[in-house]
Amino acid sequence: MKFFYSVSFLLITVQSLLSQSDIPSDYYDSANGLIGYPLKTQLKNIISNGHITRDYGQLYDGDGIAGSRGFIDTHSDLNISGGANYDNDGTVLDFYSERPYAIDPYNYTHGNNQCGNQSSEGDCYNREHLVPQSAYDDVADLPMKTDIHHVIPSDGRVNNFRGSYPFGIVAVANWTSLNNSKRGSSGMAGYSGIVFEPIDEFKGDIARALLYFATRYETTVFESNAFDNTNFAMFNGTSDQVFTDWAIELLLEWHNTVDPVDERERERNEAAWDFQGNANPFVSHPEFATMIWDPEALSTTNTIQQEIKLHPNPTKGESLFVEVQLPTVVELFDLTGHSILKTTVNQNHSSIDIRNLSSGIYILYLQNAQAKSTRKLVRL
Ligand SMILES: [Ca+2]
Ligand SMILES: [Ca+2]
Ligand SMILES: [Ca+2]
């Protein structure tokens, strides 16, 4: 009997290995050199291409998909080398009950205790849409409804309490889950309603799911009113920024500072690729988020800021001087994201010919072996 199990296990393992594939190393190449919303649009093209719409039931176990077991592969509490580790017991990794450094209040075995009715935490788990279904049900709920990059297994009771509330920082909680996720009044300037705050451990995971959603569906959520803010308070009704100012500020902070990408999330991205054939670009390339939503911040957060001198700026002359210590690639973009010129400067050759540059504002993107930086150039 044991032998039979071993052989079956081996066959299943070999079968999954055969059909699994990695996110290709050149997957994002066509986005090279882009910045701002043009970068977001190109990422949308990249991650829409090849995205296979799955059935709702397949999320739980990948039934019928070669090389994927759905949530079993993306959300299991198993140790990951180089990633955040918890209990290593193979149970459902649920953002609302996992206590990262303590015994969990309850656990779910994959395939058991799916909701169903719930009346308290620990009764059953279901499929939570981090971007609520009410935000896109009006036109077409697929492929959003079954998109594993933003649909997660979570406790039914907590999911119910979260409802369609936006994510945010809670000032005063009116309800707290057993792992200390909170619902309550907003503690953020710019929003005064009720918000839901996950624990720090998963704030970045959730932020990246929302950034992914905004990118993947930038023109398809609603036919005429993209990202309608009457249905989800984090949206501002536009297809470029997508989020309100307070929301994008919060998401970038959770993504960049509070809970950056780790190896566990990279593996989840690979498993999601096996499930549906596309990837979350903000897990693969965390820098994309700031490049899209806050490109000017790159110049103030970068270490080469002091080492690069750019002058004159503003300029009406024939040459722009970029003083650097290392050979540096300089690329100039207009405000629509089109590349105007690209050249390399070094210590001996610091001048760039800008005689043909018309008046206006440009974005200068600089990159060398140590860092990258973005500057604004004003041509008089
Ligand atoms: Ca656990
Ligand atoms: Ca735990
Ligand atoms: Ca995390």
Q: Which residues contact 296 (CB under 8 A, 6 or more apart)?
A: 374, 376
pLDDT at 206: 98
Ligand 1 centre to CA of 167 (Å) is 23
Ligand 2 centre to CA of 59 (Å) is 23
Compute the distance between CA of residue 275 and CA of residue 72 in angstroms, rounded to an integer: 11
Nearest ligand atom owner, CA of 207: 3
* Sign of the alpha-carbon dihedral angle for 97, 101, 102, 107: positive
Ligand 1 centre to CA of 78 (Å) is 9
Q: Is the pLDDT of residue 326 over 70?
A: yes
Nearest ligand atom owner, CA of 178: 2
Nearest to 103 by CA among 178, 15, 47: 178
pLDDT at 109: 97
pLDDT at 371: 66
Which residues make beta-bridge pairs with 153? Answer: 127
Nearest ligand atom owner, CA of 77: 1
Structural domains of the chain ordered from first start: 30-294 (no CATH), 298-379 (2.60.40.3080)
Whether the CB-CB separation of 323 and 308 falls below 8 Å is answered with yes
| Residue found by looking up tokens 């959003």 in the block | 144
Ligand 1 centre to CA of 91 (Å) is 6
Its pTM stands at 0.76
Nearest ligand atom owner, CA of 88: 1
**pLDDT tens-digit readout, 71-125:** 999 999 999 998 999 999 999 999 999 999 999 999 999 999 999 899 999 999 9
Nearest ligand atom owner, CA of 84: 3
**pLDDT tens-digit readout, 167-180:** 999 999 999 999 99
**pLDDT tens-digit readout, 333-374:** 888 777 888 888 887 778 898 988 998 888 888 877 666 777
Whether the CB-CB separation of 267 and 79 falls below 8 Å is answered with no
Ligand 1 centre to CA of 72 (Å) is 13
Nearest ligand atom owner, CA of 94: 1
Q: Which residues contact 303 (CB under 8 A, 6 or more apart)?
A: 370, 371
Nearest ligand atom owner, CA of 100: 2
Ligand 1 centre to CA of 105 (Å) is 9
Ligand 3 centre to CA of 174 (Å) is 25
Ligand 2 centre to CA of 378 (Å) is 53
The mean per-residue pLDDT over the stretch 209-236 comes to 81
Q: Is the pLDDT of residue 6 over 90?
A: no
Ligand 2 centre to CA of 144 (Å) is 30
